[in-house]
Amino acid sequence: MEIESRLVEVLQHARHVAVLTGAGVSAESGIPTFRDAQTGLWAQFSPEELASPGAFRRNPRLVWEWYAWRRELVTQATPNPGHLALAELERRVPRFTLITQNVDGLHQRAGSSAPIELHGNIGRVTCSEEGTVVDRWDTSDEELPPRCPRCGAYLRPDVVWFGEQLPEAALAAAWDAAQSCDLFLSVGTSGQVEPAATLPRVAMQAGATVAVINLDVTTAARPPLYTINAPSGVLLPTLLRAAWPV
């Protein structure tokens, strides 16, 4: 796969690289993306019908079980070469910011030190009333969702649902990185969900070079914008090797 030499040069000389990832980066780890048809038991539901405060109010057990199913998928998944390439990129550039919409924790498992988790993390559970993280709860009780040991309210996954606010500090850090980076990579995201979808434009308006890596784009170089149609698990390692041949 040939990568635009100008893009490789920008990467080699970048002072600050910011990367936004979406579900496409985890697709090659076997985790279905949001826009893929839901599989099996969950085929009858759209994420919007499950990942929302209304859905949780209406049917907390169903929502809890959907996340338990996804948590199981994530546990069985392993980081793919795209995740690993981003962990290596962090070690190669002076300043690196990883911003992810993914809640699967695969970036951390690949070695990325501090991804900004815009939409939370499925591996964490919070009290639906207090909002605080809960590490342990009474598993002897069959009731699902389990209840907060402190206040008795239902527990919920620590993820941002449709209609909920993103964590303010995470969003501010992501915005700051988009405004101060000199190269912004948008990888494996359909760019349908705000405010993450605005970050590439913020970067470009601040003068950064932007590369969009996705399967539903046409490869083109219109500096400072590059679009590359390729699976992230192939393109990211290729980009790293082009910039820093082993």
Q: Half-sphere exposure of 24 toward its Cβ, with a 13 Å CA cutoff?
A: 24
- Is 157 near ligand APR (CB under 6 A)? no
- Is 61 near ligand APR (CB under 6 A)? no
- Is 22 near ligand APR (CB under 6 A)? yes
Return the range that interacts with ligand APR (CB under 6 A); candidates 129-137, 140-148, 169-177, 231-239.
231-239
**Binding pattern for the stretch 176-205 against ligand APR, x by CB under 6 A and - elsewhere:** ------------xxx-xx------------
Closer to ligand APR by CB, 235 or 242: give it: 235
Closer to ligand APR by CB, 81 or 224: give it: 81
Query: Using CA atoms, how far apart are residues 232 and 246, in angstroms rounded to an integer?
Result: 20
Q: Closest distance between ligand APR and the C-beta of residue 97, in Å?
A: 17
Q: Collapse the DSSP code of 184 into the 3-class scheme (helix H, G, I; strand E, B; otherwise coil) and give the result.
A: strand
- Is 101 near ligand APR (CB under 6 A)? yes
Return the range that interacts with ligand APR (CB under 6 A); candidates 25-33, 57-65, 69-77, 144-152.
25-33
For residue 36, what are its two tokens?
Answer: 């893929």
Residue in 4, 8, 16, 33 binding ligand APR, rule: CB under 6 A: 33
Closer to ligand APR by CB, 82 or 147: give it: 82
Residue 167: Cβ within 10 Å count: 17
Query: Using CA atoms, how far apart are residues 147 and 149, in angstroms rounded to an integer?
Result: 6
- Is 119 near ligand APR (CB under 6 A)? yes
Which residue number has the CB closest to ligand APR?
24
Compute and round to an integer the Cα radius of gyration of the chain.
19
Query: Which residues make Cβ contacts (< 8 Å) with residue 8, sequence separation at least 6?
Result: 239, 242, 243
Query: Using CA atoms, how far apart are residues 113 and 37, in angstroms rounded to an integer?
Result: 32
- How would DSSP label each residue in 56-108? HHH-HHHHHHHHHHHHHHHHH----HHHHHHHHHHHHSSEEEEEE---S-HHH
Query: Which residues make Cβ contacts (< 8 Å) with residue 172, sequence separation at least 6?
Result: none
Active site residue 119: yes
Residue in 108, 128, 209, 232 binding ligand APR, rule: CB under 6 A: 232
Catalytically active residues are 119
Q: For binding to ligand APR (CB under 6 A), which residues are involved?
A: 22-24, 27-28, 33-35, 47, 101, 119, 188-190, 192-193, 213-216, 231-233
